[in-house]
A and B are shown apart, each in its own frame.
Chain A
Amino acid sequence: MSLPFLLEIGTEEIPDWMITSALEDLREKFVALGIPHETARVDATPRRLVLRATGVPERQADSVERVQGPPKSAPPQAVEGFARKQGAAPTELAVETTPKGEYYVFHKKAAGRATKDILAAALPGMVLGIYFPKTMYWTGKGGPRFIRPIRWLVALLGGEVVPFEIGGVRSGSVSSGHRRLGAAEVPVTCADYERKLRENCVILSADERRQRIVDGLAGAKVDAVLLDTLVYLTEYPTAIEGGFDPAFLELPAEVLVTVMRHHQRYFSVEDADGKLLPRFFAVMNIGADPEGFVRRGNERVLRARFTDARFFWDSDQKKKLAERRKDLAAVTFQAKLGSYRDKARRMKALVKELGGKAAAVRAADLCKCDLTTELVKEFPELQGVVGGLYARAQGERADVWQAIYDHYKPVSMEDSIPRNAVGRIVALADKLDTLRGCFRVGLVPTGSRDPFALRRAAQGVVKILVEGGMALPLAGFLEGDAELTAFFQERVKFYFKDVRGFQYDEVNAAMAAGWSNLADLAARLERIRNLRQSPDFEPLAASFKRIRNILEQAKYEGGAGLSELLLEEEPEKELYREYRSILGQPIESVISRLRPKVDLFFDRVLVNAPLEEVRRNRLQLLYELRREFSKVADFSEIVTTS
């Protein structure tokens, strides 16, 4: 008989950002139990992780195990002993012929275990095995660990409870509703579970909660990350609209939006032109706010927050950014790398090396000064942005304040690079200085540990150089640090492969021809991608691989110039003439002419000529051919299908 299975792990409020990955893990762990089922779905609210399966058999299939005993020639005592050990009479044994001769065997029949028993034994370990980034214990030292205390467990296979216990909580058939709008105890069955929860103001489906929120956000900008947070922070979400004094709109929109989105988890509202309006949406974990208590409460909190921000904004203006430079000496960048004042000095020098002019030097000089402002102490996520806004208010040139504003960009692969050239140079100097310094003092990322976000910094450098079309020799700024160079090489590969979608062999081929100038590398990769469309490309790449192997086997690394007089056979001369005629032309325009000559050469000519002079000359021809066409990429790195 096939049954439905319901598991609900009832907990105290789980951090929203951990829930989706925990659910995926729960599903995988269930599947790994190997219990047959038709479907298995997972759902969650902050207070429950739920797995529901259908088509679970009541019992596992019966099985027969073949146990081999002594050989037929064994003394009767040994045969009896074997039978006794298997709990059988000697007459129940059979004799079978095996490759090694005739042996006694026993066919041990095992009735399939009840699925309920298997689940009862497996569920405690499965539940406690769900991965969370940080766990706690709550029943005392040595007790079970989970993300938050487990307070109830529902485990039903069909109509029966699957009995087990975790930390003193026994599984049963009683769930729990919304903390205040539902009943504390809600008896459920597999069939009515979701409906019973709904009657107790718990919406189990995350999609439905998301839709409920979105439906209430008339006109607001729907921030997907914030939306996800709220979906997993509520069991019964309802959006309400509030407003604030338009006088606060004098403050920069960046500050207002940060307060609303990051600190208060509100959606901000803009007009059709993208201008911030004095309104917001909050999402409650209850159904309605008929008296307006919740709206007014949130409005007051927001007013206090905005008043603080305005106070900081005004008091920060009393001391200009330029006057704060010396205060940076008291802000540690990293114990071994000195203060932010030291960093700013290094950045100024680096900006000049990168070709920056007065504006870039000015921006580098001021860009870290906002770390000493009250507003950044209050809203650390606005560092850079606040500096840029203050620089603008204090009359710095547009390119300078924009450079300060943007100099942490890009903060992710999705983020844009700084909007102007000055900003790009300052951003590069900031990141390169951090990378060089950290590698110099041994703070190198290992595995998943990267406390200084060096991968992100290097990725940012790559993105700026490529997308800013900056033809700078990256290798020249890595202080000859082999470890840092290898680190960057990985980041460059990652960028072109995973972010830009080039094939790995294209990336290897292009990088083998040099990768210090990333703008150039990007251009060459585009060319390879286009070349790949040509029917001549793969055969030619295969030939280049052959050339590489021949040269490697001969250990030939170039020698005396090519001698036309030593060319003997016609295909060889043809290839030489073709090579001379296309020298210096882009490979795109010659590929179709070159390929037949190369093919012919390999068809007809034996490189290993008996005469040493002739052999060397042929190797030299291949060597020069390869060198000439490897400026775009080392085509022998291309993986060919033929």
Chain B
Amino acid sequence: MQSFQDIVFKLKQYWAERGCIIQEPYDVEVGAGTMCPETFLRVLGPDPYRVAYVQPSRRPADGRYGDNPNRLFKHSQFQVILKPSPDDIVEQYLGSLEAIGIDLRAHDIKFEEDNWEAPTLGAWGIGWQVMLDGLEISQFTYFQQCGGIDLDAVPAELTYGLERLTAFLQVCDSVYDIEWAPGFSYGDVRYREELQYSVYNFEMADIKTLWKLFDLHEGEATRLLAAYDPKSPEKKGFPLLPTYDHVLKCSNLFNTLDARGAISVTERVGVIQRVRKMAVGVAQAWSDQSRVEPVAEVAE
């Protein structure tokens, strides 16, 4: 039987052989692998990029105190970005499933329309959810826009839900029963984390403190964005990556406040707008900063 980590190793190996950089998870909390700078910023501009990494993704509202066999506060996404997307991208993706031991002549694979959209990132794409014997195992997206910017090269983003995929391969009904490594179950490794974060996110997180933190991070990101000068000869060194970390902090605080029930439906739209404004600001500055030649301004 393949362990959880065997599957991770095989996917990394498979995509490394296809020219991907194998990255480690980003070290700021995110809700999805898409939000990491390795995806969000690298898909901008015309330069080719290929990267794969496992990203622990936090969704505070999905926590279930470790009780629910299928739902997790934090799950592991295996994220692949291929920019530009190769012509045989679907074949390559199917090949990756075969590489982890799924015989696609004996299993049912379907590509069902599912267009992805992240309003807080000003990002959207066209694609599918990939169903394996009725189980959604992947999201497959051709990015069209990110940070409100039409993308020059169209990247393909593949995300694999590693827990689901492993449970499928190990024939487990509960994600906590899957074998992470010989002798250690997923529950051994992660149960306490699921329980404690559920308690914190749903019951104990101090709403005032979280709002204060949100305002602090927002303030810092906004201050930095205002200081970015596209005409400055030193703009290459401007700390946009640290600015983006503050945006990610805001996004995670928003999700936590939401799980805590501290954001009314009316407020929600407004807070999403605030995060989006920062994310779009970073994306635009990043695009500008990445240009090799300073582009002369076109008069209207």
A: which residues have CB within 8 A of B? 12-13, 15-17, 46, 134, 136-141, 148-149, 151, 179-181, 184, 233-234, 264, 266, 282, 284-286, 289-291, 293-294, 296-298, 300-304, 307-308, 311, 330-332, 335, 339
Determine if B118 is an interface residue (Cβ-Cβ < 8 Å).
Answer: no
A140 to B48 alpha-carbon distance, docked (Å): 12
Q: Which B residues are within 8 Å of any A CB, using their own CB? A: 46, 68-71, 84-85, 87, 90-91, 94, 104-113, 115, 125-126, 128, 132-135, 142, 144, 150-154, 168, 171, 173, 264-266
Nearest chain A CB to B195's CB is how many angstroms away? 17
What is the minimal beta-carbon distance from A25 to any residue of chain B, in angstroms?
18
Tell me whether B87 and A151 are in contact (CB under 8 A).
yes
Which of B113, B144, B152 contacts A16, CB < 8 Å? B113
Would you call B126 and A298 a contact (CB within 8 A)?
A: no
How far apart sit A13 and B115, CA to CA, in the bound complex (Å)?
13
Given A137-B154, A140-B152, does the pair A332, B109 have CB atoms closer than 8 Å?
A: no
Q: Is the CB of B154 within 8 A of A140?
A: yes
Q: Assuming the A-B contacts A139-B154, A285-B110, A286-B105, are A303 and B173 also in contact, with contact meaning beta carbons closer than 8 angstroms in the complex?
A: yes
Bound CA span A308–B68, Å: 8
Q: How far is the CA of A286 from the CA of B265 in the complex (A)?
A: 44
Contacts of A151 in B (CB 8 A): 87
Contact of B173 among A16, A286, A294, A304 (CB under 8 A): A304
How near does chain B come to A372, taking the closest CB pair, in angstroms?
11
Known: A330-B265, A331-B265. A140 touches B153 (CB 8 A): yes
If A12-B90, A302-B134 touch, whether A137 touches B144 (CB-CB below 8 Å) is: yes
Check if A179 sits within 8 Å of B133, measured CB to CB: no
Are B70 and A308 closer than 8 Å at their CB atoms? Answer: yes
- CA–CA, A333 and B90, complex, Å: 41
- Chain A residues whose CB sits within 8 angstroms of the CB of B126 once the complex forms: 134, 136, 148
29 pairs of residues in contact across A and B, judged by CB atoms under 8 Å: A12-B111, A13-B111, A137-B144, A140-B84, A140-B152, A141-B150, A141-B153, A149-B142, A151-B87, A179-B90, A179-B109, A180-B105, A184-B91, A289-B106, A291-B106, A293-B107, A294-B133, A297-B107, A297-B133, A297-B134, A297-B168, A300-B135, A300-B171, A301-B133, A302-B134, A307-B69, A330-B264, A332-B266, A339-B265
Are A46 and B173 neighbours in the complex by a CB distance under 8 Å? Answer: no
Residue on B with the closest CB to A297? B133
User: Among B110, B133, B144, which residue has its beta carbon within 8 angstroms of that of A136?
Assistant: B144
Instruction: State how many angstroms separate the Cβ of A606 from the closest Cβ of chain B.
Output: 72
Given contacts A13-B128, A293-B133, A297-B135, contact A180 B69 (CB under 8 A): no
In the bound assembly, the distance between CA atoms of A12 and B89 in angstroms comes to 10
* Alpha-carbon distance A293/B71, docked complex (angstroms): 24
Contact between A136 and B109 (Cβ–Cβ < 8 Å)?
A: no
Contacts of B107 in A (CB 8 A): 286, 293-294, 297
C-alpha gap A12/B104 in the complex (Å): 17
Q: Do A301 and B105 contact each other (CB < 8 Å), given the known contacts A141-B151, A234-B110, A332-B265?
A: no
CA distance A140 to B110 in the complex (A): 26
**Sample of 5 more A-B contacts, CB < 8 Å, known A138-B142, A179-B90:** A134-B126, A293-B107, A294-B108, A300-B173, A332-B266
Asked if A311 and B68 sit within 8 Å, CB to CB, the answer is yes
Cβ contact within 8 Å between B106 and A293: yes
Please name the residue on chain A nearest to B68 by beta carbon: A311
By Cβ-Cβ distance, the 9 closest A-B pairs, closest first, are A297-B133, A15-B113, A13-B111, A284-B108, A136-B126, A298-B134, A332-B265, A301-B134, A180-B104
Pick from A141, A286, A290: contact of B152, CB below 8 A: A141
Give the distance in Å from the alpha carbon of A13 to the alpha carbon of B134 in the complex.
17
For B68, the chain A residues whose CB sits under 8 A away are: 308, 311
Chain B nearest Cβ from A166, distance in angstroms: 13
Q: Which of A17, A149, A289 has the most CB atoms of chain B within a 10 A radius of its CB?
A: A149
